[in-house]
Amino acid sequence: MKRLLLLLPAAAGAADLEISIEIPRLQVAEYHRPYVAAWIEKPDRSVAANLTVWYDTGMKDQEGEKWLKDLRQWWRKSGRKLDLPIDGLSSPTRPAGKHPVPLDTLELPALSEGQYTLVVEASREVGGREMVRIPFAWDGAQAVEQKSTGKSELGEVTFALRPTP
């Protein structure tokens, strides 16, 4: 169960967040697993919460961080301000297939009532780059369940945010 607490300031109560990201199988001459980042954005496009970043975490001397800037929007909005690796956020790259995002150890900041966008960005070495954006409204009471599909570098992205009973 991918579960975490979103601490709501006034309304109180918590919420469960579940995200799944699909990496499509691509027929290309040279394939490397993509770097992927997911975050929740406020209407002014600033970052409300970082959810995950998949990159070459296993390389020596943190060589894998050299290409993080190719997750261009994530790098601009928050990556460049972070000191990686971060427990619960940094994660290895994934092969083709559907992958639940491991959110269980992540501490997320408060998400007050309002409009948000879930953003998933993928960038592949010698390949393309794509962002999937899923706008949603959160009032702390009504569950949100949505999905969207990328065209090139991302498959299906599913997203559920449910108030904890």
Partner 1 sequence: MKVHTILLAAALALPTASAHRFWIVPSSTVLSGEEPWVCFDAAVSNNLFFPNHHAPELEAFSATGPDGKIVELQNGQVGKYRTTFDLPLATPGTYRVGTVRALLFARWEENGERQSWRGPADRLDEVKDKPGVTLMDNSSRVETFVTAGEPTTPAVLGKGLEIDFTETHPNDLFAGETASFTLLQDGKPASGVEVTVIRGDDRYRNEVGEIQVTTDETGSFQITWPEAGRYWLNTSVEGGTREISGIPASVRSAYTATFEVLPE
Binding footprint of partner 1 on the chain (CB under 8 A)? 61-69, 72-73, 75-76, 79-81
CB of 56 to partner 1, least distance (A): 11
Q: Which is nearer to partner 1, 34 or 79 (CB)?
A: 79
**Least distance (Å) between residue 80 CB and partner 1:** 5
53 within 8 A of 68, measured Cβ to Cβ: yes
Q: Choose between 111 and 120: whose C-beta lies nearer to partner 1.
A: 120
| Minimum gap (Å) between residue 84 Cβ and partner 1 | 9
Cα–Cα distance measured from residue 29 to residue 64, given in angstroms and rounded to the nearest whole number: 22
Contact by Cβ (8 Å): 53, 79: yes
State the nearest-atom distance from the C-beta of 69 to partner 1, in Å. 4
Element (H, E) at 74: helix 72-77
| Residue 84 CA: distances (Å) to CA of 17, 36, 48, 146, 160 | 23, 15, 18, 30, 27
Judged by CB, which is closer to partner 1: 3, or 133?
Answer: 133
Closer residue to partner 1 in complex, CB, 62/148: 62
